[in-house]
């Protein structure tokens, strides 16, 4: 695949990516919407789990007398509003733990303010995969976002505790189980599961209303995303409430639909690469037609998928 062909495909993909919410936020800034608290259990008046929307990416709070555990922290410019909402929750005057599902700034943007509000890193624990910490401290360019330059975040935003495979803690009578799903949306994606309440927080591993973002700049790729969807199906069941990175709660059937789409696209794009089909042909004749009604414009997804797959040609086989 020649470089000029790849660049033209990426430019076309960005131009046609109006349905890709993360790409739009990253390039143009977040859309300001009201902060809304939605109960995920029947215990909003007492200990329980809620989804907080309007702060950037979805934020999930486990509330109760032990204080509050948050999954993700939204964008920086909504962090004051997020704090106001959190402090109205049971135990909200004491946030003791934040778990980041990946490094993207719409999920980690409130880390600094939370650290400052709740006593610094000596008192507020921030948990994430080791790769998330590395990207938050890195200086790099993201070419699929018009070569956006990311600079290191302040150390108050960095995780205080990292892991490589899986972990578990207990708060407010709930087990909190988290695990790594390699090289999918990024190379640091994790899920967070509350088995007692049957709530699964999937972060950027589940997409609603637009094709998943495959951030190949920081290690994401189609094969890993497909494998991650399969792994999540093994954790969830038909009654699980699945919280995506952006958008409303999803069902097991929704996750199955995403998994089937990703599996199909993996097969089709591997075959296209083996046939020597170029990116211009792929853009002109997207092999996604039966999925577009659900996931929208496929151009950015296809561009990022193809680019990411070139980093895995040896394991895919029979391409080079």
**Taking the mean position of all CA atoms in its chain, how far away is CA 67?**
25
Find the angle CA(232)-CA(184)-CA(75) to the nearest 5 degrees: 95
Q: How far apart are CA 299 and CA 270, in angstroms?
A: 17
DSSP H or E run through 179: strand 174-180
Per-residue pLDDT for the chain (320 aa), expressed as one digit of tens each?
A: 434 444 544 454 444 443 344 444 443 344 578 999 999 997 544 579 999 999 999 999 999 999 999 999 999 999 999 999 999 999 999 999 999 999 999 999 999 999 999 999 999 999 999 999 999 999 999 999 999 999 999 999 999 999 999 999 999 999 999 999 999 999 999 999 999 999 999 999 999 999 999 999 999 999 999 999 999 999 999 999 999 999 999 999 999 999 999 999 999 999 999 999 888 888 899 999 999 999 999 999 999 999 999 999 888 877 77
Find the angle CA(221)-CA(160)-CA(142) to the nearest 5 degrees: 30
Could you tell me where the DSSP H helices lie in the chain?
3-15, 21-28, 79-87, 105-108, 111-117, 130-136, 222-235, 252-274, 279-284, 292-295, 299-309, 313-316
Position 318 scores a pLDDT of: 77
Q: In which residue are the tokens 């996604």 written?
A: 288
> pTM of this prediction?
0.91
| Residue among 270, 174, 283 at smallest CA distance from 226 | 270
| Residue among 220, 183, 176, 166 at smallest CA distance from 197 | 176
Q: Which domain, by its residues, includes 248? A: 3-316
Q: Are 77 and 83 in contact (CB under 8 A)?
A: no
Q: Are 51 and 60 in contact (CB under 8 A)?
A: yes
Q: Are 197 and 46 in contact (CB under 8 A)?
A: no
Q: How far apart are CA 261 and CA 114, in angstroms?
A: 37
Position 46 scores a pLDDT of: 53
Residue 186, CA distances (Å) to 33, 167, 271 in order: 26, 19, 24
Structural domain tally of the chain?
1
The domain spanning residue 115 has which CATH number? 3.60.15.10
């Amino acid at each position: 695949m020649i470089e000029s062909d790849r660049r033209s495909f990426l430019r076309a993909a960005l131009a046609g990516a109006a349905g890709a919410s993360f790409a739009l936020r990253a390039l143009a800034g977040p859309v300001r919407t009201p902060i809304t608290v939605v109960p995920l259990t029947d215990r909003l008046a007492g200990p329980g789990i809620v989804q907080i929307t309007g702060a950037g990416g979805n934020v999930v709070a486990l509330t109760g007398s032990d204080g509050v555990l948050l999954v993700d922290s939204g964008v920086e410019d909504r962090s004051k509003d997020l704090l106001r909402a959190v402090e109205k929750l049971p135990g909200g005057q004491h946030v003791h733990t934040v778990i980041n599902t990946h490094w993207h700034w719409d999920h980690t943007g409130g880390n600094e303010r939370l650290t400052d509000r709740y006593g610094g890193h000596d008192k507020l624990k921030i948990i994430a995969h080791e790769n998330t910490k590395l990207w938050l401290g890195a200086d790099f360019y993201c070419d699929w976002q018009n070569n956006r330059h990311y600079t290191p975040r302040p150390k108050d935003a960095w995780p205080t505790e990292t892991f490589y495979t899986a972990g578990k803690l207990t708060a407010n009578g709930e087990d909190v189980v988290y695990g790594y799903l390699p090289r999918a949306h990024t190379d640091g994606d994790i899920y967070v599961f509350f088995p007692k309440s049957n709530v699964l927080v999937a972060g950027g591993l589940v997409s609603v209303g637009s094709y998943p973002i495959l951030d190949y700049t920081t290690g994401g790729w189609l094969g890993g995303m497909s494998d991650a969807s399969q792994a999540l199906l093994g954790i969830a069941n038909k009654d699980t409430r699945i919280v995506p990175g952006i958008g409303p709660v999803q069902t097991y059937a929704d996750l199955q639909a995403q998994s089937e789409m990703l599996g199909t696209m993996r097969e089709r794009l591997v075959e296209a690469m083996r046939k020597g089909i170029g990116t211009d042909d792929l853009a002109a004749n997207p092999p996604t037609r039966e999925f577009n009604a659900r996931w929208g414009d496929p151009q950015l997804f296809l561009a990022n998928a193809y680019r990411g797959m070139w980093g895995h040609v040896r394991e895919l086989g029979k391409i080079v």
